[in-house]
Amino acid sequence: MEKATCRFPNWVSTKIVDFYAEQGINYLFDWQLDVLTEANESTNQHLIFSAPTSAGKSIVAELLAWKVASTGKKVLFVLPYISVAREKLHQIQRCWRRDDIAVCGFIGPQASNPNEWIGAVCTIEKAASLTNRALSEEWFNEIGMIVVDEMHMVFDSSRGAHIEHMLSKVLLWNSMNSEEKIQIIGMSATIPELNRLGEWLESGKVCEANFRPISLNNHIIIGSEMKKIGSEESVREFSEDPLITLAKKSFLENQQTLIMISSKLEAEKTALNIANHFHELKLLDDSMMERLRERADGLLFIKNGLERHGCKDRNVMAALAWGVAFHHAGLTMEERECIEMGFREKSIIILVATSTLASGVNLPAERVIIKAQTRGPSALTSLSYRQMVGRAGRTGHATRGEFLPHFPNRAVLDTTIRRTDIVSLLVLDHLF
For residue 414, what are the contacts with CB-CB under 8 A and spacing of at least 6?
A: none
Grade residue 411 by pLDDT with cuts at 50, 70 and 90. Answer: confident
Domain 216-418 in the same topology as domain 14-208 = yes
pLDDT tens column, 159-187: 899 999 999 999 999 999 877 899 999 99
Per-residue pLDDT at 424: 36
Q: Which CATH superfamily is domain 216-418 in?
A: P-loop containing nucleotide triphosphate hydrolases (3.40.50.300)
Helix (H) or strand (E) holding 244: helix 242-252
Per-residue pLDDT at 425: 35
Instruction: Output the CA–CA distances (angstroms, integers) from residue 173 to 134, 296, 349, in the order listed.
Output: 12, 57, 49
State the Cα–Cα distance between residues 103 and 117, nearest whole angstrom.
5
Choose the weakest-confidence range: 56-65, 206-215, 361-370, 387-396.
387-396
The pLDDT mean for the chain works out to: 83
* pTM for the model: 0.75
Per-residue pLDDT at 284: 60
For residue 415, what are the contacts with CB-CB under 8 A and spacing of at least 6?
A: 374
CATH class of 14-208: alpha beta
Under 8 Å between Cβ of 226 and 405: no
Where are the domains positioned within the chain? 14-208, 216-418
